[in-house]
Amino acid sequence: MSAEPDPKQAAPPRARRHRASSTARRDALLAATVEVVAERGMAGVTHRAVTEQAGVPLATISYFFESIDELAAEALRVFTAERVRVMSSLNTVLATQQLDFAGMAALFAGAAAANRTQSMAIFEAYLQAGRHPEHRAMVADALAALRQVATTALTAVGATDPEGAAESYAALVDGYAMHALTRENLEVDRVGLQRAIRALFLGELVEAGRIEEAAQLSGAYPKPQGE
């Protein structure tokens, strides 16, 4: 009588290659779905649109997902989870660095200048969260990760209430990123964003009675060109 196969034993090379190929095709579908969402919105996610974008046969989706809605939901989950991972990594780096006000302003300007696909996808995720309660938790996690980055940056530059102010800075970043999508060159108005960041931060210092610090900060960092 032959011995039972050891489940812990490594799979043969052919099985490993098959799993790797399947994983690659599934990942391609998820990435393609995000791109379709960015271009056409959630309503544009169809079998044909996604498979054409991914470069795979039309029947591929049915191999991995029970429905196109399940694929769209999973793509949204994976996309927001990756955004959380990136923001968390950035937050870890910031926590070990000394950041001044100019560095903070540059950080937020860079965050707003994400590529078009990323910006369109996250805004579509916000809309989905508004329309479908089951999507709110994962989108809330992505926003919380962005707020945590803002909190860490604000703490580094001496904000009076970093956690309380983080929401305003996160909203400012998203607002400028959204407005950039209406511009012909799709570029974020970095000068305008840094001006808004400076005004917001100076206002917080003044409100906290830190008038001398506000005056020093205003003089230490010249206004962006164009004002």
Cα–Cα distance for residue pair 146/166, rounded to 1 Å: 9
> Distance of CA 72 to CAs 18, 36, 79, 136, Å?
24, 10, 10, 15
Tokens coding 2: 């032959």
The single-letter code of the amino acid at 105 is A
Give the per-residue pLDDT at 98: 85
Q: Judge if 28 and 109 occupy the same domain.
A: no
User: Is residue 225 helix, strand or coil?
Assistant: coil
Look at residue 19 and tell me whether its pLDDT is greater than 80: no
222 pLDDT band, cuts 50/70/90, is low
21, with CB counted inside 10 A (0-12, 13-18, 19+), is exposed
User: Beta-strand (E) ranges in the chain?
Assistant: none
Q: What percent of the chain has pLDDT over 90?
A: 62
Mean pLDDT of the chain: 87
Give the end of a domain, one of 65, 84, 101.
65
Look at residue 115 and tell me whether its pLDDT is greater than 90: no
Number of other CB atoms surrounding residue 104 within 10 Å: 23
pLDDT in tens, 41-68: 999 999 999 999 999 999 999 999 999 9
Domain of 80 in residue numbering reads as 70-220
Q: Residue 216: inside a domain, yes or no?
A: yes
Q: Judge if 45 and 125 occupy the same domain.
A: no
pLDDT in tens, 126-171: 999 999 999 999 999 999 999 999 999 999 999 999 999 999 999 9
pLDDT in tens, 180-197: 999 888 889 999 999 999
Q: Residue 227: inside a domain, yes or no?
A: no
3 pLDDT band, cuts 50/70/90, is low
CA dihedral 51, 53, 55, 61 (to 10 degrees): -20
Q: Judge if 96 and 189 occupy the same domain.
A: yes
Residue 17 belongs to domain with CATH number: 1.10.10.60
CA dihedral 52, 58, 60, 62 (to 10 degrees): 130
What are the φ/ψ torsions at residue 150 (nearest 5 degrees)?
Answer: -60, -40
Q: Judge if 26 and 117 occupy the same domain.
A: no
Cα–Cα distance for residue pair 143/135, rounded to 1 Å: 13
Give the per-residue pLDDT at 11: 52
Record the pTM.
Answer: 0.81
